[in-house]
Amino acid sequence: MQSPFAEIRQRQHRLLDSLGADLLILPAAVPQSAISRFRQDSDFLYLSGFPEHGAVLVLDPTEDAGAVHLFVRESTEQEQVWDGFTMGVDKAAALCPADRVRPITELEAFLGHRLTGRRLHYRAVPNHPGSALVDRQVHCQGARALDSSEVFDALVAMRMIKSPLEIAHMREAIQITGEAHHACMRAGMRHRKEIQFEAEFEYACHSNSSTGSSVRFQTSDERAPSTTPNSW
Give yes or no for a contact between 56 and 28, defined as CB atoms under 8 angstroms apart. Answer: yes
Q: Is there a single domain that holds both residue 39 and residue 120? A: yes
As a whole number of Å, the end-to-end CA separation of the chain is 14
Asked if residue 76 and residue 26 are part of one domain, the reply reads yes
Q: Which residue range is the domain that position 207 belongs to?
A: 162-232
Number of domains in the chain: 2
pLDDT band at 142 (very low <50, low <70, confident <90, very high): confident
Report the alpha-carbon distance of residue 71 to residue 53 in Å, rounded.
Answer: 11
Q: CA–CA separation, 107 vs 157, rounded Å?
A: 29
Query: Is 153 found in the same domain as 68?
Result: yes
State the average pLDDT over residues 142-154. Answer: 88
End-of-domain residue from the set 105, 140, 158 = 158
Return the DSSP state at 106: G
Q: Residue 34 maps to which CATH number?
A: 3.40.350.10
CB 42 within 8 A of CB 221: yes
Q: Clarify whether residues 49 and 140 are in a common domain.
A: yes
DSSP code of residue 230: S
User: Mean pLDDT over all residues of the chain?
Assistant: 85
% of the chain beyond a pLDDT of 90: 58
Measuring CA to CA, which residue among 130, 79, 70 is closest to residue 102? Answer: 70
Strand 144-146 with 119-122, pairing: parallel
In this prediction the pTM is 0.82
29 and 136 belong to one structural domain: yes
Judge if 18 and 129 occupy the same domain: yes
The size of the chain, in residues, is 232
Q: 109 and 24 in one domain?
A: yes
Same domain, 97 and 131: yes
What's residue 210's pLDDT?
A: 65
User: Are 86 and 68 in the same domain?
Assistant: yes
How far is the C-alpha of 213 from the C-alpha of 103, rounded, in Å?
27
pLDDT tens-digit map of 195-214: 999 999 999 998 887 665 54
Distance CA 201, CA 227 (A): 10
Do residue 29 and residue 131 come from a single domain? yes
Average pLDDT over residues 54-73: 92
Q: Which residues pair with 102 in a beta bridge?
A: 71
Q: Give yes or no for residue 78 having a pLDDT over 50.
A: yes
The CA dihedral of 191, 192, 195, 197, to the nearest 10 degrees, is: 40
The CA distance from 187 to 194, in Å, is 12
Per-residue pLDDT at 215 exceeds 50: no
Give the gyration radius of the chain's Cα atoms: 19
- What is the per-residue pLDDT for 181? 92
Mean pLDDT for 153-163 is 93
121 and 145 housed in the same domain: yes
Question: What is residue 192's predicted lDDT score, i.e. its pLDDT?
Answer: 84
How far is residue 120's CA from residue 19's CA, in Å, rounded to a whole number?
10
Q: What is the pLDDT of residue 188?
A: 87
Q: Which pLDDT value is given to residue 211?
A: 60
Final residue before a domain boundary, out of 129, 158, 187: 158
Q: Domain ends where: 104, 126, 158?
A: 158
Residues 6+ apart with CB under 8 A from 50: 28, 40, 44, 57, 70, 72, 87, 92, 96
Same domain, 150 and 172: no
**What is the rounded distance in angstroms from the CA atom of residue 137 to the CA atom of residue 223?**
29
